Structure 1
């Protein structure tokens, strides 16, 4: 199981960071593609703070001897994941030409509350026994932020007949569906932590949609050039 987890975590980081660099380097002024690239890199680099120490711990003397590093990594990943969804909101805002100022205020408000809760010392991120109560507290605005983004993509993708990002809402639903049980029950049922694997796959799916967007826009530009000739 240790070898399998090491291989999975390593493959995930390599895949997400590679796609992020590709999206960023090939964006060529396409704002949505560029944002997808930034989003993927934030996801990969943020998760690396948690996964690299985890890979090292699993490869050497065990997780119990690296609690501080793993806790700090989880803190960084929590912040980066929040930023991930804010960027995803901006992708939707550009793609669907949204003008709703209240929605922007809501997204930034929830993200700010989430980050402030993560910064609170009472989380005890690096201790042997991080606060369970604060883990619940900080994930409430995070879940609310996710619900806002889910509804947004579900409504706008249908309304705009967006074939490229039509399943973004489902990927986000799945990510939270696998993540929330881990938050609530992982301390009493450690084996439930395995749900983090499909949760991670859901995030990879989101980035893959960004790659599909790049292909779609590249193909469209080629067809436009052919038409101009």
Structure 2
């Protein structure tokens, strides 16, 4: 039952975000925030597919333990694409609110570079079913810092601009991290905690949906 329900959920999720992304790219017609949001959505869906498709295959065949390498590679790809996702979201913030800050941009890119570098260290042991928890924490520290920066930026500017489409962007990102962090820390010890990835995924769909709503605004 888990295999069927989880696979169906993943199919709906991937098809939804990738389709919305493609439609936003087509709808952009030179409008950079819409174009970036579309690229964000496609990046999110395609990146997650590297992990979710092998996971669905494993669940529906001979189990997760027999596909540790494929799942690990998928997690690595997803980790990198999620980092790109937040870089693009930062640039959406810049364009939507006409903000420019060389220092802030440098900080975001530095955090992204540190995150990506930490993901590439062999100590992550991505191909093993027993990947070390310590490296899961280390590589997610700069990622969480990026998230905090984006949350604060959207919270401030959306309120100041009375930006209705993005008024809950900060909340969706906050929820995504609130559901993700326990998975990083405790999912290996308590597998049921892994269920939090479902509301975490729903939070990302919400982020994409807000971009979709904004893309329909008159220009």
User: TM-score if structure 2 supplies the norm length?
Assistant: 0.98
Give the structure 1 partner of residue 193 of structure 2. 192
TM superposition shift of 1:127: 1.2
Q: Deviations 1:133-178 (Å, cap 9, x if unpaired)?
A: 1000000000000000000000010111111111100000000000
Separation in 1 of the partners of 2:129 and 2:172? 33
Give the structure 2 partner of residue 210 of structure 1. 211
Matches within 5 A, 1:93-108: 93-108=94-109
Separation in 2 of the partners of 1:35 and 1:193? 30
TM superposition shift of 1:94: 0.7
Separation in 1 of the partners of 2:9 and 2:34? 26
Determine whether 1:171 maps to 2:196: no
Give the structure 2 partner of residue 36 of structure 1. 37
Give the structure 2 partner of residue 113 of structure 1. 114
Give the structure 2 partner of residue 224 of structure 1. none
Give the structure 2 partner of residue 89 of structure 1. 90
TM superposition shift of 1:210: 1.1
TM superposition shift of 1:62: 1.1
SS across alignment from 2:216 = helix
Separation in 2 of the partners of 1:208 and 1:14? 13
Q: How many residues align?
A: 218
TM superposition shift of 1:128: 2.4
Separation in 1 of the partners of 2:143 and 2:128? 23
SS across alignment from 1:26 = helix
Separation in 1 of the partners of 2:101 and 2:30? 25
Give the structure 2 partner of residue 4 of structure 1. 5
Structure 1: 5+ residue stretches without partners: 222-229
Give the structure 2 partner of residue 150 of structure 1. 151
Greater mean deviation of Cα atoms: 195-204 or 126-135: 126-135
TM superposition shift of 1:60: 1.1
Q: Deviations 1:177-223 (Å, cap 9, x if unpaired)?
A: 0000110111111100000000000000000011101112xxx24xx
Q: Deviations 1:8-66 (Å, cap 9, x if unpaired)?
A: 01110111111111011111111000000000010001000000101111111111111
Separation in 2 of the partners of 1:58 and 1:18? 25
Question: Could you say what the CA RMSD is over the residues aligned between the two structures, in angstroms?
Answer: 0.7
